[in-house]
């Protein structure tokens, strides 16, 4: 089977470096990584009843599994306060004036004479 995987340029560079370090081309190395990961996951599913595929769980089991999975990321007041404290020192280099949100600096100030179609094409190429 042939599988196409899109990687960011920096991910592709990393993949090629890791592959070269093992004397493989990037495609072979990526296939080996995927194969090892799938084999490990399959072995875990075969030996651990708690880590079985969700397709074999009843709705209540799925709900408990998903609740446990997202719990560490649930925004509690303590977690929100911790995040706010971590980033409290960050301030904009050029803060907006009072009563504005700063959008007046960019809205209506497109630097070139590109048409909407040209901008849309450029954005499409980037994505």
HSE on the CB side for 87, CA within 13 Å?
A: 7
Res 78: pLDDT: 92
pLDDT-above-90 percentage for the chain: 6
Question: Among 40-49, 74-83, 88-97, 108-117, which is the least confidently predicted range?
Answer: 40-49
- In whole angstroms, how far apart are CA 116 and each of 38, 76, 109? 45, 43, 14
Q: What is the mean pLDDT of residues 81-87?
A: 90
pLDDT tens for residues 22-80?
888 888 988 888 888 888 776 665 555 556 777 888 899 888 888 888 888 888 999 89
pTM of the shown model:
0.34
**Burial classification of residue 111, based on how many CB atoms lie within 10 Å of its CB (0-12 exposed, 13-18 middle, 19 or more buried):** exposed
What average pLDDT is seen over the chain?
82
């Amino acid at each position: 089977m042939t599988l196409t995987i899109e990687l960011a340029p920096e991910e592709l560079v990393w993949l090629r470096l890791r592959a070269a370090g093992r004397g493989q081309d990037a495609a072979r190395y990526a296939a080996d990584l995927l194969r090892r990961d799938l084999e490990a996951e399959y072995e875990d599913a075969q030996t651990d009843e708690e880590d079985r595929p969700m397709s074999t769980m009843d709705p209540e089991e799925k709900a408990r599994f998903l609740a446990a999975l997202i719990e560490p990321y649930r925004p509690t007041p303590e977690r929100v306060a911790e995040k706010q404290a971590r980033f409290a020192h960050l301030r904009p280099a050029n803060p907006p004036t009072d009563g504005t949100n700063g959008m007046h600096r960019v809205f209506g100030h497109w630097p070139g004479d590109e048409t909407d179609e040209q901008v849309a094409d450029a954005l499409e190429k980037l994505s």
